[in-house]
Each structure stands twice: as C-alpha cells, then as structure tokens.
Amino acid sequence: MIDCRPIDSPMDPNQKLASSEGDLFSDPERYRRLVGKLIYLTITRPDLSFAVGVVSQFMQAPCLGHWNAIIRILRYLKKAPRQGLLYEDK
C-alpha cells in the first residue's frame, strides 16, 4: 500500500456492491479486522462513514470485489492522512 496511487473518493460511484462480487475472499478474518479498524477510524473521519458502512454489510462472506472496495478506501486515506476531526476538552 505504500506505493499505491492516492484517489479522490472512497467509493467508485459506478460500482454497485452485491453479495456475490466474484470469488470468495481467501482470508475473511483479515477482511473483518480491517473493516473493524475502518469503523473505529470513522470516529475522526466521518467522510468514510458511508463507504465503510457499505463494505461492513459483507463481513459474513466477503468476495474479491468487496476486498477491492476496502483497498479503494485505503487509497483514499493515503491522499490526506492527517485529515480528520480533533476533539478537545474544555
């Protein structure tokens, strides 16, 4: 992921994810862990909420198309790694 090309949006507007997006992903546990980390990240990155919500619907049986959607979210994060909300005490 270090050498990946950054992109401008977390989801492809022309891609419609369905429960049968090609072959099953070989490591569903890895998919679930990464989705969990992205869900946690939405606390400070609300711009990810919709995209992460979509990929989290397929945690039971993720396919390669769902994994590619997660990779796209990571490429979006690479574009602005320090962007986010900061919560401070008063």
Domain ranges of the chain: 28-79
Q: Which of 60, 45, 23 is nearest to 73 (CA)?
A: 45
The CA distance from 53 to 83, in Å, is 20
pLDDT in tens, the chain (90 residues): 667 788 888 999 888 888 877 789 999 999 999 999 999 999 999 999 999 999 999 999 999 999 999 999 999 999 988 888 888 888
Tell me the DSSP string of 12-31: -TT----S--SSBPS-HHHH
6 close to 58: Cβ distance less than 8 angstroms: no
The predicted structure's pLDDT at residue 64: 93
Give the model's pLDDT for residue 1.
64
So what's the pLDDT on residue 65? 92
3-class secondary-structure state, position 63: strand
